[in-house]
């Protein structure tokens, strides 16, 4: 006598909650606050801006290398184990970093951090949400990834205040402890890779009356990774994410850019806070819009907003207008951080999404690694970030054109996708 398992309709939302915590705490603390330490570390160890930025480039290189196998690793090994190990390593780097006495130690530690944080922070939310949500994917992806901006907006002034009043070592120590305490409970119990129909787990939006085999079949739809790598869509998206990093890598330099014009570190952090709030709103909004409008229209809108923001940061040096410009620049980040993963998912299907996403993200990580240090080098050579910001504005347009062309020629078309019905 067989029994039908009770459908666990709450399970996708538990995964969603776990992804929100990963973004809010993990991205907000591990990634979005790193630029706040530039001035303090430069003064502490008597080195230039490029040397202080070098550990972040090393971090991006090891993150990129990890991306080569990260997608396949998540599919083969229990994601809860992998994510938890990565979080322990990430938190440990910050705790240990609070004791460092030489700049080279950061180079080594951030090499470990890059390999550790990239799976839970950069890859997990997009992949798990894609597996657990057949409907409203853009919306949950936008919220789940966009909340990182809110985390960054909250933690930037907190961390900058800690650096100013207690020192960067205390800020590092508290950051590491917070990462462990806040994320591990969710990574251990909530962040399962994909639904198991035998246990009553189904993606949100799946028709529950259909047989369980249909669920398995649905996850097999899409383009094989090896075939995807040879398509024009894959090439265009890879180039787009590489050049888009010219602007993304500038985010870590925003506070330093404002300090150059007479802002205090706390005032520069407020501009960064505006940028992160904009990023939160932008990622949430673009996810919702992608569920309802043509992607070409959405990408174009966010490109224009991003250009407006970076242009404002280039020409405005008053705190109020700089914060407003940062807000617009942050909104534009939704283009790269949610728009491109959504385009990848709807261009190739769910079958090998984690592998394809990880490879394209790898290209982005390598580019970010080189460009983060390049911006520091340009600053040391010219005394400002004008060249970097100006170049980023031009590249924004080219990246948008590539993404729009990539989606227009996509090899996989989901007949059930709302966006497809509007093409």
- CATH number of the domain that residue 220 is part of: 1.20.1250.20
Reported as half-sphere exposure (CB side, CA atoms, 13 A), residue 126 has a value of 29
- 216-221-224-230 Cα dihedral, nearest 10 degrees: -170
User: Does 90 reside within a domain?
Assistant: yes
Distance from C-alpha of 171 to C-alpha of 162, rounded to nearest angstrom: 6
pTM for the full predicted model = 0.76
Q: Is 346 exposed, middle or buried (0-12, 13-18, 19+ CB in 10 A)?
A: buried
Residue 3 covered by a domain: no
> To 10 degrees, the CA torsion angle through 370, 149, 33, 16?
-90
CA distances from residue 92 to 156, 222, 261, 334 in whole angstroms, order as listed: 20, 39, 35, 30
Whether residue 269 is contained in a domain is answered as yes
Please report whether residue 371 resides in a domain: yes
204 within some domain:
no
Residue ranges in the chain modelled with pLDDT below 50: 1-2, 208-219, 416-423
Report the distance separating Cα 307 and Cα 396, nearest Å: 7
Cβ-based neighbour number of residue 343 at 10 Å:
25
Query: Is 140 within the bounds of a domain?
Result: yes
Q: Would you say residue 421 lies in a domain?
A: no
Residue 77 lies in a domain: yes
Note the pLDDT of residue 406: 95
Structure tokens at 130: 């894609």
Give CA–CA dist 261/279, Å, rounded: 23
Domain that holds residue 183: 11-199+210-413
Rounded Cα distance between 65 and 305, Å, is 32
The pLDDT value given to residue 6 = 65
Number of domains the chain contains: 1
């Amino acid at each position: 006598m067989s029994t039908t398992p009770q459908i666990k309709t709450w399970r996708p939302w538990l995964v969603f909650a776990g992804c929100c915590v990963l973004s809010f705490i993990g991205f907000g603390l591990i990634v979005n606050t790193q630029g706040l330490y530039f001035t303090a570390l430069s003064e502490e160890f008597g080195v230039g801006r490029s040397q202080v930025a070098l550990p972040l480039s090393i971090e991006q290189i090891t993150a990129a290398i990890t991306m080569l196998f990260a997608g396949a690793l998540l599919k083969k090994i229990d994601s809860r184990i992998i994510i938890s190990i990565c979080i322990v390593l990430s938190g440990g780097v910050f705790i240990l970093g609070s004791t460092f006495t030489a700049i080279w130690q950061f180079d080594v530690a951030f090499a470990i951090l890059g390999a550790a944080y990239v799976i839970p922070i950069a890859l997990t939310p997009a992949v798990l949400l894609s597996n657990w949500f057949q409907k409203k994917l853009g919306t949950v992806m936008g919220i789940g990834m966009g909340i990182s901006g809110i985390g960054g907006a909250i933690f930037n002034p907190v961390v900058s205040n800690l650096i100013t009043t207690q020192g960067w070592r205390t800020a590092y120590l508290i950051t590491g402890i917070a990462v462990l305490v806040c994320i591990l409970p969710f990574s251990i119990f909530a962040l399962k890779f994909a639904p198991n129909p035998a246990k009553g787990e189904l993606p949100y939006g799946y028709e529950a009356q259909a047989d369980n085999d249909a669920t398995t079949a649905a996850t097999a739809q899409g383009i094989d990774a090896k075939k995807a790598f040879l398509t024009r869509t894959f090439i265009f998206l890879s180039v787009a994410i590489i050049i888009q990093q010219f602007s993304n890598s500038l985010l870590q330099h925003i506070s330093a850019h404002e300090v150059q014009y007479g802002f205090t570190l706390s005032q520069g952090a407020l501009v960064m806070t505006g940028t992160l709030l904009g990023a939160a709103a932008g990622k949430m909004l673009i996810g919702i819009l992608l569920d309802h409008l043509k992607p070409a229209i959405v990408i174009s809108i966010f490109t224009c907003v991003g250009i407006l923001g970076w242009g404002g940061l280039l020409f405005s040096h008053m705190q109020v207008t700089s914060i407003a410009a940062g807000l617009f620049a942050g909104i534009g980040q939704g283009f790269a951080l949610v728009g491109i993963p959504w385009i990848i998912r709807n261009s190739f299907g769910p079958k090998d999404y984690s592998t394809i996403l990880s490879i394209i993200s790898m290209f982005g990580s390598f580019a970010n690694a080189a460009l983060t240090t390049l911006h520091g080098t340009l600053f040391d050579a010219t005394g400002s970030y004008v060249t970097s910001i100006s170049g980023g504005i031009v590249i924004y347009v080219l990246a948008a054109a590539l993404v729009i062309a990539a989606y227009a020629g996509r090899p996989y078309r989901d007949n059930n996708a709302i966006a497809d019905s509007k093409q």
